[in-house]
């Protein structure tokens, strides 16, 4: 009986895994990105981002009044910032270190924080980005939002990266 060499088996497994992680055709989501209304390609762990209302896609007026709470670890004390935007620019009282970028991002995409929980059974890459957590709540263009982010797997990392102008890169707004 002929045996398959180990590299052939490994290649087949890698190709199957990558195919399972590919975005659905027509979803608009590319590798490592989360389109509006998605938590990124494949996830079973909850990207606990929820909103009380949805925002229509497209440019907005750039007005926001948000609280951004960042924790470097599950048991850490959160650091809380205010993000106040008027016409896509930081307004008085805003103390988020990345306020200018965050306000511009929210003006360009007011639905940026409007995510939904992914469908049950979706797969996600098993990678760990760190213990950081973020919660963003308040209003964007008059629509109430509340979204939570973490870095526990590839899908959640993708969701975090989609809002990095607000929550900061790699787990902090610094």
Length of the chain counted residue by residue: 174
Contact 101, 161 (CB under 8 A): no
Is residue 3 in some structural domain? no
Q: How much is the pLDDT for 164? A: 95
Is residue 15 in some structural domain? no
Q: Residues 17-33: what's their mean pLDDT?
A: 44
Contact 141, 63 (CB under 8 A): yes
Is residue 22 in some structural domain? no
Is residue 63 in some structural domain? yes
Is residue 2 in some structural domain? no
Answer with the residue of higher pLDDT: 153 or 50: 153
Verdict on whether the full-model pTM lies above 0.75: no
pLDDT in tens, 61-104: 999 999 999 999 989 999 999 999 999 999 999 999 999 999 99
**Domains of the chain: total:** 1
Which domain does 92 fall in, by range?
35-171
Is the confidence at residue 36, as pLDDT, over 80? no
pLDDT in tens, 140-164: 999 999 999 999 888 889 889 999 9
Is residue 153 in some structural domain? yes
Answer with the residue of higher pLDDT: 58 or 19: 58
Is residue 20 in some structural domain? no
Is residue 57 in some structural domain? yes
Contact 168, 149 (CB under 8 A): no
């Amino acid at each position: 009986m002929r045996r398959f060499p180990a590299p052939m088996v490994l290649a087949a497994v890698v190709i199957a895994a990558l195919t399972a992680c590919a975005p659905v055709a027509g979803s608009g989501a590319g590798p490592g990105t989360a389109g509006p209304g998605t938590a990124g390609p494949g996830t079973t762990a909850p990207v606990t981002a929820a909103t009380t209302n949805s925002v229509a896609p497209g440019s907005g007026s750039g007005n926001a009044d948000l609280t951004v709470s960042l924790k470097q670890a599950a048991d850490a004390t959160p650091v809380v910032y205010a993000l106040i935007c008027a016409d896509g620019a930081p307004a008085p009282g805003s103390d988020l270190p990345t306020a200018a970028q965050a306000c511009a991002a929210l003006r360009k995409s007011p639905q940026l924080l409007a995510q939904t929980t992914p469908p049950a059974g979706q797969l996600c890459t098993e990678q760990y980005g760190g213990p950081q957590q973020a919660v963003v709540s308040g209003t964007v263009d008059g629509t109430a939002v509340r979204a939570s982010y973490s870095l526990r797997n590839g899908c959640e990392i993708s969701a975090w990266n989609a809002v990095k102008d607000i929550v900061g890169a790699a787990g902090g707004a610094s």
